[in-house]
Structure formats: C-alpha cells, structure tokens
Amino acid sequence: MRLSALLLSTTLAWSLTGISYAAELPKESRVPGGVAIVPLLGLTHTKAPQADFRGNRVMVLSAEGTQYENQTRWLAVVGIPLKAKADKRLVISAGGEKYPFTITEKEYKAQYLTIKNKKHVNPDPEQVKRWRREKAEMVGAFTHWDSVAQPPVNFVLPAEGRFSSPFGLKRFYNKQPRNPHSGLDIAAPKGSPIKAPAAGTVLTTGHYFFNGKTVIMDHGQGLTTMYCHMSRIDVKPGDKLQTGDQLGAIGSTGRSTGPHLHWGVSLNNVRVDPTLFLNN
C-alpha cells in the first residue's frame, strides 16, 4: 500500500510539472518550417500580451506548469517560414519589447512529380486569375484570429494511410521547380474518411484550382489546418467540430497524382510541419 501511495503521489507531482504539461505545447523545432517557443521575459501582464512576427499576430500561451515557468509568465509560439534563413535574426515584438531568436538550417529532399494535366503546371491567364482569388480566400482564413486561452496544439492524424510525401520537399512538376511542399501527404483509397484532428471551427470550404476540394479549420490563436484533394466535403463554414468528427473523404481533385490527403498546418500565417503537432 505504501509503495502504491508513493507511486500515486509521484504521478500526481509529475502531472503538475513541465513533464506532463509538455502535451500542451507543440514540439519545438527551430528550423525553416518549424516552430519556436520563445519565453517573453519580463512581461508580467495578467492577460496574455499581444505578440507579432513579420506582420502577423502570434500565439501566446501561459508558461504556468511548463519547464519555462521559472523564467517567464508567457510564451510566444511562432511558426517559422520555410524560406527563413539561419543567418538572419528573427524577431518577435510583444509588450513594446523585442525578442530575437535564431534558427538552424535544414536541408529538405527534392521530389519530382509528373503531372498529366499541363494546366496544373502552367495555367492559362484565366486560371491564374482564379488561383489568385482562391489564394486570397485561403490567406483570409490563415490570418483569422480567435482569442481562445488554450488552443488545442496536440493533434491526432486526420486520416489513416501511408505518409507519401513529407513536409518541406523541394518540388519539381514536370521538371519545373515550384514552391516547397507545405503539408503532409497521407495516401489512402478514394472515399476513406478524413476526420478533425482536434476541436475547431470550419472557416471555409471550396473547390480550388490547385488544391481541389478543400476544408480549412480554425483551432484558435492563428492555428489553422487545411485538408486538400478531397472527393467529398461533409461540413460547411461555421460548423463547430470535435476531435474525430468527419470532414469528408479522401480524393484526387485538383493538382494530384493519386488519391491522398494533403494536410497542412498554419501558424501565424506560416505553413509549418504538421508532425510537430502530433501527440504520438
């Protein structure tokens, strides 16, 4: 009995420390396409201060119960652009102060894909206009801000399947260079379910030129997730979802070489590696 009581008390003690609370933070990876957790030293606001990075508002979480609680009261959780350079100082602004941080380089692999529909590689002027309208709509979703105190930052996978293309790949379509891969591709049979990885609200849905049938969810404080190439969409803007609620089904719409889900995660309007938010 004494041993059981000791184990229980130790478990409870750990639950009040940063060891347990690490589940309430994404994994830190200070590389292009990663996430930095920056202590906002000296800020003693009772309410979360507003922080900004490169013109976009940044997630700010309480440091209480984390490994940072002896240093500061607040933490900035910032997405790092894929094009960020390690030799340049990155700076967060908060409470009238500047918080510089550094990153290290990361070399992502190259991927060469053959696209049968040539318009998905070199669209005509009308298709370019369409893409620009759709991009503006998506950016509007990525910059949406909902001031929840603790957004869900630990996700479950939204689909079951093989990881066919990891985040950050340098992409070449028909041997032509394009933007790096900004999400995680999960290959699965057409019609397989796509589910919400965490609680959130549907911001927008659409059938986009490159992304095909798409859903974008908001999880709070500038954290959004995107689901592309769907065969079917089962939700509508404004729907409030819980973890595991169905969003739609795997497909191959838009610029796609086969049925799969392109799952993107955006933080402060920066596309970051979705695996940093997986709880396992």
Look at residue 177 in the predicted model and tell me its pLDDT. Answer: 59
Do the beta carbons of residue 255 and residue 11 sit within 8 Å?
no
Share of the chain above pLDDT 90, in %: 71
**Cα–Cα distance measured from residue 33 to residue 82, given in angstroms and rounded to the nearest whole number:** 4
C-alpha dist (Å) from residue 86 to 22, 83, 267: 26, 10, 19
pLDDT for 272 equals: 98
Residue 21 has pLDDT above 60, yes or no: no
pTM: 0.86
Any domain includes 10: no
Sequence length of the chain is 280
Of 80, 101, 122, which residue sits at a domain end?
101
pLDDT digits (tens, 9 = 90+) for 142-183: 999 999 989 999 999 999 999 998 998 875 666 665 577 889
Pairing of strands 74-79, 232-233: unpaired
- The separation between CA 139 and the C-alpha centre of its own chain, rounded to angstroms, equals 14
Domain of 78?
Answer: 18-101
| CA distance linking residue 115 with residue 121, whole number of Å | 7
CB 17 within 8 A of CB 66: no
**For residue range 102-123, what is the model confidence (pLDDT) as tens digits?**
999 998 887 666 767 766 767 7
Number of domains in the chain: 2
Q: Does 13 fall in a domain?
A: no
In a domain, 9, yes or no: no
| Same domain membership, residue 197 and residue 152 | yes
Instruction: Report pLDDT digits (tens) over 222-280.
Output: 999 999 999 999 999 999 999 999 999 999 999 888 999 999 999 999 999 999 999 86
Residues 23 and 131 in one domain: no
> Counting Cβ atoms within 10 Å, is residue 246 exposed (0-12), middle (13-18) or buried (19+)?
middle
Distance (Å, whole) CA 260 – CA 186: 5
Same domain, residue pair 171 and 34: no
DSSP 48-77: PPPEEETTEEEEEEE-TTSTTTTT-SEEEE
CATH number of the domain that residue 131 is part of: 2.70.70.10
pLDDT score for 114:
73
Say what the pLDDT of residue 7 is: 36
Task: Give the helix ranges, DSSP H, for 28-156.
Answer: 125-142
